[in-house]
Every structure is written in C-alpha cells, then in structure tokens.
Structure 1
Amino acid sequence: MILNSSEMKAIEKKEFKLRKNSFSLMQSAGEKCANYISSKVSKNKELLVICGPGNNGGDGFIIAKSLINKGHKVKIFLVLPLKNKRKDNYKAFECLNYKVFNLKDLHKELKKKTNPIIIDSIFGTGLNKNLSSDINNLIKIINNKKAFIYSIDIPTGISSDNGQIMGEAIKANLTLALHCKKIGHVLFPGVYFSGIIKVLDIGIRKSLNKIANNKIRENNPNLWINKKFPWKKYNSHKYSRGRVYIYGSLKNFIGASLLSSSAAIRCGTGSVTIVANKDTIDKYNQKFFSLLKVEINSKEEFKRLLNHSSITSFLIGPGVGVNQETIENTKLISKFVRNVVIDADAITSFAKNPKELFLILDKNKIITPHEGEFNRIFPDLKNVKNKIEKSVKAAKKANCILVFKGPDTIIASPDGKVCINTISTKELAVIGSGDVLSGIITSLVGKNKMSTFDGACAGVWLHSYAARMVNKGLIAEDIVKNLPKALEQLDKKYN
C-alpha cells in the first residue's frame, strides 16, 4: 500500500481516537526509529539530530532522547521555532531535558565535521509549500557533506503527494517510512532522494488501512503471480502456449522488432510470428531461425491473415515508422485481435488526432508510451505534476491499460487501479529496452491466462528484474539474455 498525505492523516486521526492519546503514537514512531538506527550505528559515533518545527521534528526529539538513553553520542538541533506549545511536538521537546542547539550552531558544527551521521527530522509528509531560503541553504550544505543521512518518514523537501522537490531536498542514504510508503517515496525524483526505504511498523492498526480506499500498489510478484501466471506445463504444446504476432519494422529498423520477438519467445510463448513485407522478409529469415515469418504486401492480404489466424496477441509499433499505413494497420489489428500492445511509432502516428486512437482501444488493449510519446497523445495532461494522477486520467481517457514508462514506470487501468514499478535501474535508459518490454508484455498477455493489467505489471517487473542482473554497460540484448534466469528465480520463489 502506498498513501498520499491526506490518506495517511485520516488513518492517523482514527488511530488517535482509538488510543485517546495522540502523543503515544509519536512516542512509538520515535522509539521504533531509534531502535533501528541504534542497531546500525556504533555508539562511539556522534549523531546529529536535526529537527523542524512540526510533528516530524517531534519524532526527532523522541529519537534523540531514546538514542541518548541507549548510550549514543547525540547533538540535537532545532532549525526553526516550534509552532504550537499545545501540540505533541512541543510535548516531545519539553520531555528532552537535554541541550538543544539552533541553526547557527548547526552551521558551525557542519563546518567542523567531515563525514557526519545525520538524522533528518526537519519536515515530513506535512510539507505543503516550498522551503525557506535558510532551510534550502542548509540542505545544500548537508548534501555537499560526505554524510550518512537517515531521513524520518520522507526526506525534507520532497512532497509526499507527488515526489516533487519543494525547493531543495535532502539526499538520504536511508529513509525510515512510518507505517507505509508514501507516493513521494516511489515517484521520481523523490525515489532518488529517498535512498533505501525501510518501512517501520509504528503501532497503527492494520485494519485502519481500509479508510484510505486506496488502489495504488507497489509492483511485486505477490500482486500477480497467483493470477494465472503462464508457467509452462508438462502437458502443454506450442500452440497452447499462445500465438503472438509482431508487425515487422521498416528495413533499416528490423532490430526493433527482432528485440521484441526474441523477448516474447524467451518469456515462454509457443509461437512468435513476424509479419514482414517483400523488402524485409529475407532479412528476418537470415537473422532469427526460431521465428515464424509471414509475408504480407497488401491491406487485403493483411485482413485475410487477421481474419483467419488464431492470434492470441499482437504487437505493433517497434520500428514500423510514423505514417498513415501504421495508423491503418493499428486499426485493423485492434478490430480483429483481442489482446493488442501498441508501442513506439504506432503511438506517435496518432499524434495529430489522438481521438482516432482512443476510439479503437478497450480494456484488452495496452499502450506503452514514454514521456515524449505520452505528451504527444495526451497534450492536455502535459502540465499535471503528479504522475499517478496523470496516468489515471490518461487510462480513463483512452479506456485502456496504460504503461507510462520511465524511472518510475506506472501501470494504470481505466477503473483507477495503479501499480508503480520501484525496481528499475538507470541502466535501462538505453536504445531498444522499450522494444524488449513490449515483447515481454505481448508474450504474457498472449497466453490468455492473465488479464492485460496483470500481464502489464508482470512484464514491467520482469523487464526491470532481468536488467538489474547487469551492473554497468547494459544493452537491450542483455535483458533478453537474462529473461530465462529471471523466470527461473521467479519460479523458485513463487511457483
């Protein structure tokens, strides 16, 4: 479960009522954070606990006191005046009984330190406006230090609702997320600033999660592995494993469709067929012997193929060119085939009239745009900052499954379901990786077992998981090469 700030507040409010004491929850959160940090930090190392004026600062005071009681060396800093003497954060401050230094003192301390350990408890999920210049300057200094930084709940400066930076932002090594992850932890750039994220149980009743009525989930196999994931069976034959068709690329771009095809067949599809024309058929015959090929040179021939073939899924887009022919072919495929993945050039071809694309889509169709392609077909959503909101609106508008690619790929459905991929790697920013992804997804939905939403989620996860097996210098072919290993590890753990 991934929540925004208002959903988290609603859950906390109900927990406060049940406890009849809101301060006890702050105490629990602070103690849990202190226990975790204490287990990781040597007692001969000094910790700088930097607190802000609100509840995140209150957590920091309790963390500091608990760490001192455990025998750690701690200096406590309050960088802004406390807001309200009747609030829990002030109560936590009064319970300290230790010297608290100010912002000026902190600047002096940071000048002396070369590699400090810092606990960032300045602002948490309640931040709803840009930071002041004093705090922005402080953050710049902290980020330039060779510090190890623990951020409490979320790094200071990151919006918990959309992952955007509110001026400057602390670059944490590790974030201790309280109760659950927030949207700001998983969307770029927040995911980058959060570092490793450790979710801590702070004592909020799990039964209260239903208050949020939230459809946002973090992509992982537990969401889709038991929903008819298409494992191979001993009694299956090649045609029971799906008949995937992929529209061939232009002659100078056949590498794109070859990557998609090789990914599809590696993911267990029994039969993958490339639809090529007289200019490219020989090239495909020379390059990939495991593929079936069919030569099509006219619209009528293509119609006959679509009408009489038992096609379980069809991919169009990689390397096909941005032109009217691509538009017509995409329309034909969508008319005759149930499960269709529309990618790359097949998306961009509709840029002048996106409504023409939306008319042929439904819940069994998947579009896989990166940000540039997304903005071409959803220009009215270009300025929406929250990527989740943007994705849900787009999926509803197009009435199909959306895979919005990026460092924080989002899978969204027209009914509002959202899955966020959090295991991506920066190495995936390489030519051809999108072609591999579309081939994986087409393969998984082509076995007629998984829904298109679950198939898209599984495909995105497998794609990232296989890519992470290569540390540096990843090329698209490496992802394909690692798919058998990724499937084997998935099988061992979940099947």
Structure 2
Amino acid sequence: MNEIFSSEEMKRFEQGQFLKRSSYSFMQKAGDQIFKFINNRFKNKRPIIVLCGPGNNGGDGFVVARHLMDHGYSVEVYIFAGANNYKGDALTALKEFRGELKKINLFKLQKNALIVDALFGIGLKRNIKGILSKIFRKINQSKNTVVSVDIPSGVCSNTGKILGNAIKADFTITFHRKKIGHIFGFGKQFSGRIQVVDIGFSPRKAKTRCYENSPDLWVKYFPWKKPFGHKYSRGRVIIYGGQKEFTGATILSAQAALRTGTGSVKIACSKDTLPIYSVKFPSVLKTEMNSIFQLENFLKKEKITSFLIGPGSGSNKNIKEITKLILKKVKYVVLDADALTCFQDDLKTLYSLLDKNKIITPHSGEFHKIFPNIKKNLNNIDKAISAVKLIKSNIILKGPSTVIVSHNKRIVINDHASSELAVIGSGDVLSGLVVSLVGQKKINPFLAGCAATWLHGDIAKHYGKGLIAEDLVQGIPGALKRLKKWKTY
C-alpha cells in the first residue's frame, strides 16, 4: 500500500482498531514480529541490549525482550522511566517480562551487541537532551547494529526532523504503514532499511493525506506507445528554446521528452540559436521565432499537446510576456526555472494564470522567489500545500524527497531517488519527462509529475555514482523497460 501516515492519522486509525480488539494484543503481535525479524536476520545469538521508553514503544520493547530471553538470547534491558511510572499496556508488558531492569543512566555499550531501540515512538514531540543525547551519540559512533521499533528515537514522525538528537538505525520495523518521517528529511537516512509488518490491523483504507510515490498510483494510466499509433498521435510537444549560452538545457529537455514517448518535439528558437539546435540535435523539429507576435501566430495555427517553458530561457521581461501568452493560449503547460522566477515582481499575475492543467517544477530557491510569504522553516510538504492554496495548480517541489501536490491537494512524496540527482541539468531532464507524459489523451499534470519524478529517480538509482544529466537521458529506455515489468520488478 502507498499510504503514509502522520502520527495523528496513525493514532486515529489505532483507536478505531482498539474498539474491535484488545490494544495489548496488538502490542504482543508487534513485539513478536520484531523478535521474528531479529531471530531470522541475525543467526548468531549475539548479546542484545533493549532500550525501553516510558510509553507503548517501551512496551513493545519489553515484549521483544521476553521473547528473546525465552529463546536463549543474552538480553540487557535499560529503562528510561522508573518501573513504577509505567501504566496501561506498557505496564502489562513490563510485568510479563519479569527480567532484570537497569536504569538508562547506567548504560554500557557492549561490543557486537545488537541494540533494540524502543525508547520513543511516533508520538515524540520534545527534544532529546541530557543523558539520552550522550547515549545516542555513543551508539551512533559505534559499529553496533541498531533495530528501531516503529521509528528511530528522536526522529519526528511527521517531518523527519531530528528532535535535538536521534538514534541512527540500520533497520526500522514499523507497523501497518510507513510514517512521513521514515522517508522525509533526515528521517530518511536515520531509518536505515524499513520493514513494514502486519500486526493484525484490518486492511481497510485509512484516511491519510500523503502517499508514497510508486507506479501502483499511476502505471495503469501511463501513456505507452500504442501499436498502431503514429508520431503525431503520440503527442506534439513544444519547448521554448533557451538563450544562446543555455541551449544545452533545452536540448536535455527535448531529448528526455522524445525518449519518454512523445512522437514529436519542436523547439521554438531564435535566428541565433537555430544553427546550434540544427547541429546539436538534428532529429528534433525547430521553428524560428524572433518576436512575441510570431509566437502568437504560431500558437493560433499549431496543434499542441503540451508546452514546456523555462529551461535556459532567461529571467527577463520578454520571457515573462512570452510565458503569460503561453499560459493563456495553451491548455497543458509545464513551467520550470526562469519561466517562474521572471514573475518575482508580479506574483499576482502568475498565480492568476495557473490552473489545474498547469504544473510548476521549482527547486527550493525558485520556490521562495515566487512564494516569498511562505516561511522557509516549514517542511516541504507544508510549503507545497501552502503554495497550492495560492495557485490552485499542481506543483513538483524538488528536493532529496520531492513533494508532488495536485491542484486539489493530493500529496505524493517521492523517496525513489538518489543524491546523485543533485547535478546541473537534472531538472531540465525532469521537466522533459513531465511534458512528454501530460496531455488530453495522456495523463493529467499531477500523475505526470508523479510518474516523471519516479522514472527520474529510478534512472539515478540504477546508474550509481558519477551521474550527469546526459546519463539520465540515456537511462530513460531502461527505466521504461523496468516500468513495463512493474509487477515483477
């Protein structure tokens, strides 16, 4: 399943489940699943340290510790709260454990011991400090393997932010669904390998605002080339060409669009750039255009599936007028880079021209130029949602975990990516992917943004180190082949 829960959504879901069955039965199942993971994953019975917090996460830890001791493991249990401070299911689990308890301030790190982090779960809101902060640093500096229960202690489950300090896990065992903090912000790197386990919750869908990007969301709508289609039935993309020194950006976008599946790409270029495109990219169509009046006539006559403007276009008054004209005359438009920032001093006009058929693709710097009143200290989900409320359009907010939000506030987080994508030209390729997929007989801008972002990340993940933008273009056919085999991939 692709749903990702916030801590509040997960708690509401759990409360509904607890009406049907004892909440402690779910804690027992959670502990059992973590024990099975440890027992199956680590064959040599190494010593195990279980860190138990004051709440239900700690209760899960007591259940794990009991199972481990029953199966002959050497187990040490450290508690953060006094034994008489436990209540509810956590107290029941503590009583059933019946083993020795040590206070957390006496913590000693054994070499080669496996650490089970059951200190704090998805409800943590306060910062980690004092003795716990010192213990977390010691664990993170060691070579000990760490298994975290639900989410690494110290990671905010709603934002992925580190709350003062956090344990860096090798594995995180979470229940029912991933949480936002697992794949967002620093939580992504602190969670290690995430395993979602079933603890007996009913499979019914829960209300959530966030989804993890996956072909499951959009592959059935993907505009594959049809056996009897021709080049124009596969889409006619127009890309507004960049300035002379930035023609490379336009070429990357055009190559990406053609490789992704559109049948025709035409670059609108000037007399200065036409010779460059003719030499550098012979197969793409070109049309010379030296004034906004020529563009207006072109838009009246040309059949256009989708239009991309921004890569290398330059941020100036002329580009602003050209972008305004395109937004008014063309239904499906992708706006990137300079086509956004040229409105920095006229945001009202930009907002008014965007609608559900348009999609913007800013990185963080561009985002804050066109949304200066959205606070920089917000997480990218809240930033993108705030932006959509202003523009009533679709947005791809690029970053380590890219956020795609639809005009009607559907949220998708793309975790299928690589840090290698932080390279010049990468965004130009992404915008080419998007414009190739969007259109009347293709898919809507939001799903196109989800599909393009996933393919973009998939290429990078398979390529590895040393990636440059041209490698992304070359990797499109392989990514499409993998996508075609999605159910077995």
Q: TM-score, with normalisation over the residues of structure 1?
A: 0.95
Which 5+ residue runs of structure 1 have no aligned equivalent? none
Question: What is aligned with 2:58?
Answer: 57
The 8 Å contact of residues 310 and 336 in structure 2, kept in 1 or not, is answered as yes
Of residues 414, 417, 420, the one that matches 1:424 is 417
Question: What is aligned with 1:72?
Answer: 73
Of residues 386, 406, 421, the one that matches 1:393 is 386
Question: What is aligned with 2:462?
Answer: 469
Matching of residues 315-394 of structure 1 within 5 Å = 315-394=308-387
Question: What is aligned with 1:189?
Answer: 186
The one-letter amino acid of 2:45's match is: N
Aligned partner of residue 205 in structure 1, secondary structure: coil
Identity over aligned residues, as a percent? 45
Q: 1:494 to 1:275 in 2, by over 3 A?
A: farther
The one-letter amino acid of 2:220's match is: N
Of residues 158, 163, 171, the one that matches 2:160 is 163
State the distance in 1 between where 2:407 and 2:230 align: 34
The 8 Å contact of residues 43 and 72 in structure 1, kept in 2 or not, is answered as no
Of residues 217, 223, 229, the one that matches 1:230 is 223
Aligned partner of residue 66 in structure 1, secondary structure: helix
The one-letter amino acid of 1:203's match is: G
State the distance in 1 between where 2:84 and 2:56 align: 10
How far 1:12 moved relative to its partner? Answer: 1.1
The one-letter amino acid of 1:171's match is: K
The answer on 1:123 being equivalent to 2:120 is yes
The 8 Å contact of residues 230 and 447 in structure 1, kept in 2 or not, is answered as no
State the distance in 2 between where 1:69 and 1:206 align: 31
State the distance in 1 between where 2:82 and 2:127 align: 17
Question: What is aligned with 1:27?
Answer: 28
Question: What is aligned with 1:88?
Answer: 89
The answer on 1:8 being equivalent to 2:10 is yes
Structure 1 runs, 4 residues or longer, greater than 6 Å off: none
The 8 Å contact of residues 46 and 72 in structure 1, kept in 2 or not, is answered as yes
Matching of residues 106-185 of structure 1 within 5 Å = 106=107, 109-110=108-109, 112-113=110-111, 115-185=112-182
The 8 Å contact of residues 269 and 443 in structure 1, kept in 2 or not, is answered as yes
Which 5+ residue runs of structure 2 have no aligned equivalent? none
Matching of residues 202-217 of structure 1 within 5 Å = 202-207=199-204, 209-210=205-206, 213-217=207-211
How far 1:83 moved relative to its partner? Answer: 7.5
Question: What is aligned with 1:415?
Answer: 408
The one-letter amino acid of 1:12's match is: E
Question: What is aligned with 2:260?
Answer: 267
The one-letter amino acid of 1:154's match is: I
The 8 Å contact of residues 54 and 86 in structure 2, kept in 1 or not, is answered as no
Residues 160-218 of structure 1: per-residue CA shift (max 9 Å, x gap): 111111101111111111111111112112112111111011111122x43xx223111
State the distance in 1 between where 2:369 and 2:148 align: 37
Q: 1:83 to 1:247 in 2, by over 3 A?
A: farther
How far 1:330 moved relative to its partner? Answer: 0.8
The 8 Å contact of residues 396 and 413 in structure 1, kept in 2 or not, is answered as no
**Could you say what the CA RMSD is over the residues aligned between the two structures, in angstroms?**
1.5
State the distance in 2 between where 1:404 and 1:487 align: 23
Q: 1:493 to 1:7 in 2, by over 3 A?
A: closer
The 8 Å contact of residues 225 and 494 in structure 1, kept in 2 or not, is answered as no
The one-letter amino acid of 1:100's match is: L
Residues 53-77 of structure 1: per-residue CA shift (max 9 Å, x gap): 1111111111111122223222211
The 8 Å contact of residues 277 and 295 in structure 1, kept in 2 or not, is answered as yes
Aligned partner of residue 172 in structure 2, secondary structure: strand
The 8 Å contact of residues 162 and 385 in structure 1, kept in 2 or not, is answered as no
How far 1:116 moved relative to its partner? Answer: 3.2
Aligned partner of residue 412 in structure 2, secondary structure: strand
Question: What is aligned with 2:20?
Answer: 18
Of residues 219, 240, 252, the one that matches 2:245 is 252
Aligned partner of residue 136 in structure 2, secondary structure: helix
Question: What is aligned with 1:302?
Answer: 295
Q: 1:146 to 1:244 in 2, by over 3 A?
A: same
Q: 1:477 to 1:82 in 2, by over 3 A?
A: farther
Q: How many residues align?
A: 486
The 8 Å contact of residues 368 and 438 in structure 1, kept in 2 or not, is answered as yes
Q: 1:116 to 1:85 in 2, by over 3 A?
A: closer
How far 1:492 moved relative to its partner? Answer: 2.5
Residues 1-25 of structure 1: per-residue CA shift (max 9 Å, x gap): 1111111111111211211x22111
State the distance in 1 between where 2:192 and 2:59 align: 23
State the distance in 1 between where 2:294 and 2:417 align: 41
State the distance in 2 between where 1:103 and 1:469 align: 43
State the distance in 1 between where 2:380 and 2:91 align: 36
How far 1:42 moved relative to its partner? Answer: 2.1
The 8 Å contact of residues 128 and 166 in structure 2, kept in 1 or not, is answered as no
Q: TM-score, with normalisation over the residues of structure 2?
A: 0.97
State the distance in 1 between where 2:372 and 2:75 align: 51
Residues 260-283 of structure 1: per-residue CA shift (max 9 Å, x gap): 111000001100011110111100
Residues 353-384 of structure 1: per-residue CA shift (max 9 Å, x gap): 22221111001100001111111111222235
Aligned partner of residue 453 in structure 1, secondary structure: helix
Question: What is aligned with 1:239?
Answer: 232
How far 1:49 moved relative to its partner? Answer: 1.0
Aligned partner of residue 34 in structure 2, secondary structure: helix
State the distance in 2 between where 1:477 and 1:148 align: 38
